[in-house]
A and B are shown apart, each in its own frame.
Chain A
Amino acid sequence: GDSVTQMEGPVTLSEEAFLTINCTYTATGYPSLFWYVQYPGEGLQLLLKATKADDKGSNKGFEATYRKETTSFHLEKGSVQVSDSAVYFCALSVLTGGFKTIFGAGTRLFVKA
Protein backbone atom coordinates (compact mmCIF):
# COMPACT_ATOMS: atom_id res chain seq x y z
CA GLY A 1 0.00 0.00 0.00
CA ASP A 2 0.87 3.67 -0.07
CA SER A 3 3.21 4.82 2.67
CA VAL A 4 5.63 7.53 3.77
CA THR A 5 8.83 6.94 5.70
CA GLN A 6 10.77 9.79 7.24
CA MET A 7 13.82 9.90 9.44
CA GLU A 8 13.29 9.48 13.13
CA GLY A 9 13.91 12.35 15.43
CA PRO A 10 14.52 14.26 17.39
CA VAL A 11 17.01 16.21 15.36
CA THR A 12 18.99 18.76 17.36
CA LEU A 13 20.95 21.46 15.55
CA SER A 14 22.68 24.70 16.41
CA GLU A 15 21.41 27.91 14.88
CA GLU A 16 22.64 28.50 11.30
CA ALA A 17 23.35 24.79 10.77
CA PHE A 18 22.27 22.95 7.61
CA LEU A 19 19.13 20.84 7.88
CA THR A 20 18.16 17.71 6.00
CA ILE A 21 15.14 15.59 6.89
CA ASN A 22 14.87 12.52 4.71
CA CYS A 23 11.55 11.33 3.31
CA THR A 24 10.82 8.42 0.98
CA TYR A 25 7.50 7.15 -0.24
CA THR A 26 5.74 4.26 -1.92
CA ALA A 27 2.65 4.89 -4.00
CA THR A 28 0.66 2.93 -6.55
CA GLY A 29 -0.36 6.04 -8.45
CA TYR A 30 1.25 9.40 -9.12
CA PRO A 31 1.13 11.25 -5.82
CA SER A 32 1.44 14.88 -4.89
CA LEU A 33 4.02 15.39 -2.16
CA PHE A 34 3.89 17.77 0.78
CA TRP A 35 5.81 18.93 3.80
CA TYR A 36 3.74 20.19 6.72
CA VAL A 37 5.02 21.85 9.91
CA GLN A 38 3.39 21.71 13.33
CA TYR A 39 4.38 24.16 16.04
CA PRO A 40 3.70 23.24 19.69
CA GLY A 41 0.00 23.13 20.49
CA GLU A 42 -1.05 24.03 16.97
CA GLY A 43 -2.44 22.31 13.90
CA LEU A 44 -0.54 21.59 10.72
CA GLN A 45 0.56 24.26 8.29
CA LEU A 46 1.51 23.55 4.72
CA LEU A 47 5.20 24.32 4.30
CA LEU A 48 5.72 23.38 0.65
CA LYS A 49 4.48 21.02 -2.02
CA ALA A 50 5.39 19.44 -5.37
CA THR A 51 2.97 17.82 -7.77
CA LYS A 52 5.17 16.21 -10.42
CA ALA A 53 8.61 14.74 -10.89
CA ASP A 54 11.54 17.18 -10.65
CA ASP A 55 9.32 19.91 -9.21
CA LYS A 56 10.98 21.84 -6.40
CA GLY A 57 8.80 23.19 -3.64
CA SER A 58 10.18 26.06 -1.57
CA ASN A 59 9.03 28.34 1.22
CA LYS A 60 10.68 30.27 4.07
CA GLY A 61 14.12 29.03 3.06
CA PHE A 62 13.04 25.37 3.02
CA GLU A 63 13.27 23.34 -0.18
CA ALA A 64 12.35 19.84 -1.34
CA THR A 65 12.57 18.25 -4.78
CA TYR A 66 10.23 15.54 -6.05
CA ARG A 67 12.55 12.70 -7.09
CA LYS A 68 10.58 10.00 -8.84
CA GLU A 69 13.60 7.83 -9.58
CA THR A 70 14.49 7.55 -5.90
CA THR A 71 10.91 8.04 -4.62
CA SER A 72 12.17 10.73 -2.27
CA PHE A 73 11.20 14.24 -1.16
CA HIS A 74 13.93 15.30 1.29
CA LEU A 75 13.49 18.59 3.14
CA GLU A 76 16.47 20.96 3.32
CA LYS A 77 17.28 24.36 4.73
CA GLY A 78 20.65 26.05 4.49
CA SER A 79 20.59 27.88 7.83
CA VAL A 80 18.08 27.02 10.53
CA GLN A 81 16.80 29.39 13.18
CA VAL A 82 15.49 28.79 16.69
CA SER A 83 12.02 29.63 15.38
CA ASP A 84 12.20 26.60 13.06
CA SER A 85 11.89 24.29 16.06
CA ALA A 86 8.78 22.23 15.34
CA VAL A 87 7.61 18.85 14.09
CA TYR A 88 7.85 18.30 10.34
CA PHE A 89 5.59 15.85 8.52
CA CYS A 90 6.16 14.50 5.04
CA ALA A 91 2.95 13.49 3.27
CA LEU A 92 1.61 12.25 -0.01
CA SER A 93 -1.84 12.59 -1.53
CA VAL A 94 -3.32 10.11 -3.97
CA LEU A 95 -6.63 9.45 -5.65
CA THR A 96 -6.59 5.70 -5.11
CA GLY A 97 -10.10 4.74 -4.06
CA GLY A 98 -10.87 8.37 -3.31
CA PHE A 99 -8.69 11.25 -2.25
CA LYS A 100 -6.43 10.36 0.65
CA THR A 101 -3.43 11.89 2.37
CA ILE A 102 -0.88 9.69 4.10
CA PHE A 103 1.48 11.18 6.64
CA GLY A 104 4.89 10.14 7.78
CA ALA A 105 5.52 9.72 11.49
CA GLY A 106 6.92 13.23 11.87
CA THR A 107 10.40 14.47 12.75
CA ARG A 108 10.87 16.75 15.72
CA LEU A 109 13.48 19.46 15.21
CA PHE A 110 15.14 21.35 18.05
CA VAL A 111 17.30 24.34 17.15
CA LYS A 112 19.60 25.69 19.86
CA ALA A 113 20.73 29.30 20.03
Chain B
Amino acid sequence: GAVVSQHPSWVICKSGTSVKIECRSLDFQATTMFWYRQFPKQSLMLMATSNEGSKATYEQGVEKDKFLINHASLTLSTLTVTSAHPEDSSFYICSARLGTSGALGEQFFGPGTRLTVL
Protein backbone atom coordinates (compact mmCIF):
# COMPACT_ATOMS: atom_id res chain seq x y z
CA GLY B 1 0.00 0.00 0.00
CA ALA B 2 0.87 3.66 -0.14
CA VAL B 3 3.49 4.77 2.38
CA VAL B 4 3.81 8.14 4.06
CA SER B 5 6.87 9.00 6.11
CA GLN B 6 7.52 11.76 8.60
CA HIS B 7 10.77 13.16 9.83
CA PRO B 8 11.78 13.49 12.56
CA SER B 9 9.82 10.96 14.57
CA TRP B 10 10.46 12.95 17.72
CA VAL B 11 12.08 16.26 18.52
CA ILE B 12 12.86 18.22 21.66
CA CYS B 13 13.49 21.94 21.34
CA LYS B 14 13.88 25.02 23.50
CA SER B 15 11.11 27.56 23.86
CA GLY B 16 11.35 30.26 21.23
CA THR B 17 13.02 28.16 18.55
CA SER B 18 11.45 26.90 15.33
CA VAL B 19 11.00 23.28 14.32
CA LYS B 20 10.39 21.86 10.85
CA ILE B 21 8.57 18.56 10.30
CA GLU B 22 8.66 16.85 6.91
CA CYS B 23 5.96 14.65 5.43
CA ARG B 24 6.70 12.59 2.34
CA SER B 25 4.61 10.28 0.19
CA LEU B 26 7.12 7.60 -0.77
CA ASP B 27 5.48 5.71 -3.60
CA PHE B 28 2.73 7.96 -4.90
CA GLN B 29 2.06 11.57 -5.75
CA ALA B 30 -0.15 13.41 -3.32
CA THR B 31 -1.83 16.55 -4.55
CA THR B 32 -3.33 17.04 -1.11
CA MET B 33 -1.75 16.51 2.28
CA PHE B 34 -3.29 17.11 5.68
CA TRP B 35 -1.75 18.08 8.99
CA TYR B 36 -3.32 16.96 12.25
CA ARG B 37 -2.54 17.54 15.87
CA GLN B 38 -3.31 14.97 18.53
CA PHE B 39 -3.34 15.65 22.25
CA PRO B 40 -2.83 12.78 24.70
CA LYS B 41 -5.73 10.34 24.70
CA GLN B 42 -7.71 12.52 22.30
CA SER B 43 -8.76 12.39 18.70
CA LEU B 44 -7.05 14.03 15.76
CA MET B 45 -7.67 17.71 15.16
CA LEU B 46 -7.28 18.85 11.56
CA MET B 47 -4.97 21.85 11.45
CA ALA B 48 -4.71 22.53 7.74
CA THR B 49 -5.09 21.15 4.25
CA SER B 50 -2.07 21.52 2.02
CA ASN B 51 -2.35 21.55 -1.76
CA GLU B 52 0.72 21.33 -3.96
CA GLY B 53 1.74 24.68 -5.36
CA SER B 54 -0.80 26.74 -3.46
CA LYS B 55 -1.35 28.20 -0.02
CA ALA B 56 -2.58 25.92 2.71
CA THR B 57 -6.12 26.16 4.02
CA TYR B 58 -6.15 26.47 7.79
CA GLU B 59 -8.93 25.37 10.09
CA GLN B 60 -10.58 27.90 12.34
CA GLY B 61 -8.50 28.70 15.38
CA VAL B 62 -5.18 27.57 13.90
CA GLU B 63 -2.61 30.37 13.64
CA LYS B 64 -1.23 30.37 10.13
CA ASP B 65 1.73 32.54 11.11
CA LYS B 66 2.71 30.11 13.81
CA PHE B 67 2.22 26.89 11.88
CA LEU B 68 3.77 27.47 8.46
CA ILE B 69 2.92 24.88 5.85
CA ASN B 70 4.70 24.47 2.55
CA HIS B 71 3.77 21.93 -0.11
CA ALA B 72 6.56 22.41 -2.61
CA SER B 73 6.20 19.18 -4.55
CA LEU B 74 3.79 16.31 -5.09
CA THR B 75 5.67 14.20 -2.56
CA LEU B 76 6.68 16.65 0.16
CA SER B 77 4.89 18.91 2.60
CA THR B 78 6.51 20.62 5.58
CA LEU B 79 5.10 22.02 8.79
CA THR B 80 7.20 24.59 10.63
CA VAL B 81 6.27 25.45 14.19
CA THR B 82 7.65 28.94 14.67
CA SER B 83 8.68 30.38 18.03
CA ALA B 84 7.61 27.19 19.76
CA HIS B 85 6.22 27.27 23.29
CA PRO B 86 5.53 24.44 25.74
CA GLU B 87 1.82 24.49 24.83
CA ASP B 88 2.81 23.52 21.28
CA SER B 89 4.07 20.19 22.59
CA SER B 90 1.96 17.54 20.92
CA PHE B 91 1.86 14.67 18.46
CA TYR B 92 1.70 15.96 14.89
CA ILE B 93 0.46 13.61 12.19
CA CYS B 94 0.36 14.17 8.45
CA SER B 95 -1.62 12.29 5.86
CA ALA B 96 -1.74 12.20 2.10
CA ARG B 97 -4.76 11.64 -0.04
CA LEU B 98 -4.60 8.96 -2.69
CA GLY B 99 -6.65 9.99 -5.66
CA THR B 100 -8.52 13.20 -6.23
CA SER B 101 -11.97 12.09 -7.24
CA GLY B 102 -14.89 12.10 -4.88
CA ALA B 103 -14.84 10.92 -1.32
CA LEU B 104 -13.44 7.55 -2.28
CA GLY B 105 -9.85 8.74 -2.08
CA GLU B 106 -8.64 7.43 1.20
CA GLN B 107 -5.88 8.94 3.27
CA PHE B 108 -2.63 7.37 4.27
CA PHE B 109 -1.10 8.54 7.51
CA GLY B 110 2.45 9.16 8.52
CA PRO B 111 3.75 7.64 11.78
CA GLY B 112 3.61 10.99 13.54
CA THR B 113 6.13 13.36 15.09
CA ARG B 114 6.20 13.94 18.81
CA LEU B 115 7.25 17.49 19.61
CA THR B 116 8.34 18.46 23.12
CA VAL B 117 9.07 22.11 23.81
CA LEU B 118 11.05 22.80 26.97
Please list the residues of chain A having a beta carbon within 8 angstroms of any beta carbon in chain B: 29-32, 34, 36, 41-46, 49, 51, 89, 93-95, 98-101, 103-106, 108
Contact = CB atoms under 8 A, between A and B. Distances in A.
Nearest to A49: B106
Contact of B102 (A95, A101, A105, A106): A95
Contacts of B104: 32, 51
B60 to A, nearest CB: 12
B12 to A, nearest CB: 15
B32 interface: yes
Interface residues of B, number: 25
B46 interface: yes
A105 B42 contact: yes
Interface string B79-107: 00000000000000101010000111111
Contacts of A44: 44, 93, 95, 109
A29 B104 CA distance: 13
B57 interface: yes
Nearest to B94: A43
B54 interface: no
Nearest to A105: B43
A95 B23 CA distance: 23
Contacts of A98: 49, 57
B34 interface: yes
B103 A42 contact: no
A43 B103 contact: no
B18 to A, nearest CB: 23
B32 A89 contact: no
The 7 closest A-B pairs by CB, nearest first: A43-B112, A44-B109, A43-B111, A43-B109, A32-B103, A93-B103, A103-B43
